[in-house]
Structure 1
């Protein structure tokens, strides 16, 4: 399991070159090529989409796309988009080996140390930023048109609803609105199923990392927010949605709250440990909590482990799958 370790060339004008060589026809050829390239680039036109910076006009069907927001990766793949640059350290192990191993796709670095030169060298027509790369918006905008379509807890309707808006916007940009509608419909169906299967049960949302299970309400409370579930611990008092925080939560506290269900995000399964040591799986951590032996979720085996790469995905497909897990598990439990 890997551990996460999170400039334009000067163009000499053809007219000057051709004049020096006394080749008048060369200038005409260069101008025609430039006009042709410009025409091709503008042929598709533009489209306006809602972003975190307001409604913005962006290229329609851009060919060279730098994809930095990991929540958009699966949707871009589904829409048939091959990026020219991605943060390869944020790619999940499964289903992204083609991007990982393709030397034509430049590594954009990590959000805490972006490779701006590599992104610039990729010559993107559009940069899909935001989320982990949100703090670098201004610098990225100097390279190419940069948009932030990332889902947000502060969006109208919350994080899950903003996943739908993100997907619809990507479908609009790449001329694949029908496909985007299918993806949104799948999320709606899974969410409805999960909502119908939950009936006010108490749930603890945990994040497994660094050998402990801590309160994950600030990160995955997004999942239960639209469902008929009651979180035994809220995100109140937590400074951020980071899973690096250590609240000092004791297993005994959870035992006393006695939740009916436990839903776990395994951070280390996705990105490894901070010190590079072998990660302890979420299941092993949960099973090893003696303080939880008498809890309802332990006695009735009512534990849901989100996909191992959930921490690296967090997009509409990830939430569709997670809602599916909830619906299946709760229906089975009766």
Structure 2
């Protein structure tokens, strides 16, 4: 678990680099260090600083920062639970439901996506702190030239795996925002749901699937994170694949899945979250599954043993999403007996 160390108030804090220069050149604008002035102190609430462990090492950040740019989509629900209103977010990565206030608030800058970030808009939002990482991890150095940036995103490479790192992320953000008690509640809910799901699974075989571009493919590279703590046997591994492989068509034949005949399917519906590449209406994962003739005699079809993750799971992937997913698994497996 990442270590967290508080420090007494110091007269040093973030200089946000909010002064725009003509024809903004990112590398020339902004600084992550410097001497604090009264305006900066007021902006961060004068609460002092806290040192947290991140993917880039220990970083000293403002305690209870007033102006936060939230780029890591796995942090959105937690920040909302803490009562944090960001000054900037990648609005295209916001789930369709639950974040309408952020989506429609013109005072919250839209910073594009990790594929096409709008650094000028981010700089103009004058953040005290940028919560980067995950999809934005490749931009860390550029983000750090705008404002203090932390990467506390969950990771498959974390010591105890992705799910455990969700706990660490939540606890760290709880410390930064002075919301330790709320963070404990969120973590406790995850632990309970995970324990329930582990107890409900008894070594059944499962196909971890993804619906993308109107097809069903191997989604183990993305949602094996969910199955790892459970008592399940995955019929198709993610060996040799990375998390972006859910975007691709591997050519997996329905007949291959039918031959493996898994007891269960856990389905990630990517199209439901982000739509189709050509803008056409997405075909629901359940419609595809129910219409697959090759699966007519499979165990999961005949027993209706398919768990469809929340439609926005691909865009959330944070601790609340995994808490809900574990609860879904526990309910489905308990009901099936």
Same fold (TM over 0.5): yes
2:39 aligned with 1:37:
yes
Q: Deviations over 1:174-232 (max 9, x none)?
A: 00000000000000000000000000000001000101000000000000000000100
Given that 2:45 and 2:66 are in contact with CA atoms closer than 8 Å, whether structure 1 keeps it comes out as no
Q: Which has the higher contact order (CA 8 A, sep 6+)?
A: 1
For residue 168 of structure 1, the aligned residue among 171, 175, 180 is 171
Give 1:10-159 correspondences, 5 Å limit. 35-40=37-42, 41=44, 43-159=46-162
List gaps (5 residues or longer) in structure 1: 1-6, 11-33
C-alpha RMSD of the superposition: 1.4
- Aligned to 1:252, what secondary structure does the other structure show? helix
Separation of aligned partners in 1, 2:46 and 2:298: 62
Deviations 1:106-139 (A, max 9, x none): 0010110000000000000000001111111011
Aligned to 1:9: 20
How far does residue 39 in structure 1 lie from its aligned partner after superposition? 3.9
Q: String of CA shifts for 1:273-317, please: whole Å, max 9, x gaps.
A: 001111110000000111111111111110000000000000000
For residues 51-108 of structure 1, give each alpha carbon's deviation from its aligned partner in whole angstroms, at most 9, with x where no partner exists.
1111211110000000000000000000000000000000011011000000000001
What's the offset of the Cα at 1:38? 4.0
Which residue does the alignment assign to 1:14?
none
- Verify: 1:288 aligned to 2:291, yes or no: yes
Distance apart, 1:247 and its partner CA: 1.2
Structure 2: runs of 5 or more not aligned? 1-17, 22-35
Separation (CA, whole Å) in 2 of partners of 1:255 and 1:143: 52
CA apart distance, 1:42: 6.9
Change over 3 Å in CA distance of 1:39–1:137 after alignment to 2: closer
Secondary structure of 2:157's partner? coil
Q: Which moved more, 1:314-323 or 1:287-296?
A: 287-296
Q: CA 1:207–1:122 in 2, change beyond 3 Å: closer, same or farther? A: same
- CA shift at 1:237, angstroms? 2.4
Distance in structure 2 (CA, Å) of the matches to 1:162 and 1:239: 18
Larger Rg: 1
Take 1:126 and 1:208, find their aligned partners in 2: how far apart are those partners?
36
Structure 2 residue matching 1:263: 3-state secondary structure: strand
Q: Tell me which of 227, 231, 240 is aligned to 2:230.
A: 227
Q: Could you tell me how far apart the structure 1 residues matched to 2:189 and 2:214 are?
A: 35
Matched-pair contact (CA < 8 Å) for 2:20–2:124: no
Whether the aligned pair in 1 keeps the contact of 2:45 and 2:65 (CA below 8 Å) is no
Once residues 96 and 152 of structure 2 are traced to their aligned partners in structure 1, the CA distance between those partners, rounded to angstroms, is 24
TM-score when normalising by structure 2: 0.89
Q: How does 1:205-284 map to 2 (within 5 A)?
A: 205-284=208-287
Partner Cα distance (1:89, 1:67) in 2: 13
Displacement of 1:241: 3.8
Q: Report what 1:29 is aligned to.
A: none
3-state DSSP class of the match of 2:246?
coil
